[in-house]
Amino acid sequence: MFGTVTRRSLLALAMVAGLGASAPVQAQPAYPTRPVKVVVPFGAGGVADITIRIVSEKLSENLGQRFIVENMPGAGGITAARAALSGAPDGYTLTMLTNGTAISVPLFAKLPFDPQSDFVPVSTLGTFDFLFVVNADSNFKSLKDFLQQAKDKPGTLNVATVAVGSSQHLSSVLFKSEAGVDLVHVPFRSTPDALVSLLRNDTHLLIDSQAAVKSGLEGKQVRAIASSGPRRSAAMPDVPTVRESGIEGFDVTSWNALFAPKGTPQPIIDTLNKALQDILKADDVKARLLDLGIEARSETPAELSERLRSDIEKWRAVIEKAGIPKQ
């Protein structure tokens, strides 16, 4: 009797198990099912802000949910990073990181976040060069002219950039080091202030993005004599690179990219990356970004991860060699 009951119980359990195995697994809802917040460490109206708004608009169309940009400028991106990390790693809070983030790691004595371990890369959005700009009336017709005078009269030429520790400032530090010339750095609070100094001939060279000096270029008040990337920019193909001017190996390529908090499910990262690949190939998006001096570019998460890692090491070496104190 006991054996019969036991056999019946085992049979019943087997039938229940079989039913469980054959029951359909409930599918997870497709991402996204509600609006997504994108935290940006810059104020409204700047190049990074305009870039992410163009991309977010297209992501909304592509994925069927609103991608809402939230500006949190200041503090070296710390405020924005904290806000992004305060949300759950579920794909509904994303953030923009840039080459400025790579500079912040070696520049700050202590960051309250680690971009390499606290975030996972989604995709690059675009890359852009800095322009080396002179007064339109300057006698410097090329960067070679500028370098020749810098060598003939050391310490007499002034280079303007925005704040100490900025990407523009460190580009000038790298340029000075690679060219082997003695230049005086003059920092300014904003690009308009730096432009005024250039037009007054208080400074002799300005290093900044195309978007930042666009009004001066269009008004023919200033003239670009070099660009910082490894090849000529598609936005200004007539402007030679610093490399072409004789500084071999010089390469400063700025970038904007989308990241998610660590722990965000891989299928969500894959969905976003695929959407961005499609968006950044679109002719209208490429044209709108190129007007800002930005070349639309998507990358795999692995490629973006390597870009961030290599830039951190590159700028660490520049900062240490220049003896720039930790902030």
**CATH at 94:** 3.40.190.150
Q: Which pLDDT score, from 0 to 100, does residue 47 have?
A: 85
Q: Which pLDDT score, from 0 to 100, does residue 12 have?
A: 43
116 and 144 inside one domain: no
Q: Give 146's contacts (C-beta < 8 A, 6+ positions apart).
A: 132, 134, 140, 157, 204, 205, 225
209 and 304 inside one domain: no
Q: 16 lies in a domain? A: no
Tell me the average confidence (pLDDT) per consecutive run of 10 residues in the chain, 327 residues long.
43 40 52 97 89 97 97 84 93 96 92 95 97 97 97 97 92 96 96 96 97 95 97 95 94 97 98 98 97 95 98 95 88
146 and 283 inside one domain: no
228 and 194 inside one domain: yes
Q: Which pLDDT score, from 0 to 100, does residue 226 have?
A: 98
Q: 263 lies in a domain? A: yes
Q: Which pLDDT score, from 0 to 100, does residue 176 have?
A: 96
Q: 177 lies in a domain? A: yes
145 and 237 inside one domain: yes
**307 DSSP 8-state letter:** H
3-state secondary structure of 83: helix
118 and 212 inside one domain: no
The residue out of 215, 245, 275 marking a domain boundary is 245
Q: Which pLDDT score, from 0 to 100, does residue 46 have?
A: 84
Q: Take residue 117 and report the two structure tokens written for it.
A: 């371990």
Distances (CA, A) of 306 to 152, 301, 311: 40, 9, 8
The residue out of 209, 228, 245 marking a domain boundary is 245
Q: Could you give the number of structural domains in the chain? A: 2
Q: 317 lies in a domain? A: yes
230 and 261 inside one domain: no
221 and 266 inside one domain: no
Q: Give 66's contacts (C-beta < 8 A, 6+ positions apart).
A: 35, 36, 60
108 and 139 inside one domain: no
Q: 27 lies in a domain? A: no
Q: Which pLDDT score, from 0 to 100, does residue 28 have?
A: 58
Domain that holds residue 91: 36-128+253-322
* DSSP notation for 230-267: SS--TTSTTSPBTGGGT-TT---EEEEEEEEETT--HH
* DSSP notation for 53-81: HHHHHHHHHHHSS-EEEEE---GGGHHHH
95 and 185 inside one domain: no
121 and 184 inside one domain: no
**113 DSSP 8-state letter:** S
Distances (CA, A) of 24 to 19, 48, 130: 10, 45, 56
144 and 282 inside one domain: no
Q: Which pLDDT score, from 0 to 100, does residue 26 have?
A: 46
Q: 11 lies in a domain? A: no
CATH number of 158's domain: 3.40.190.10
Q: Please, where are the H alpha helices in 44-190? A: 47-63, 78-86, 99-107, 143-152, 167-179
Q: Which pLDDT score, from 0 to 100, does residue 18 have?
A: 42
Q: Which pLDDT score, from 0 to 100, does residue 318 have?
A: 93
Q: 241 lies in a domain? A: yes
The residue out of 213, 245, 277 marking a domain boundary is 245
Q: 170 lies in a domain? A: yes
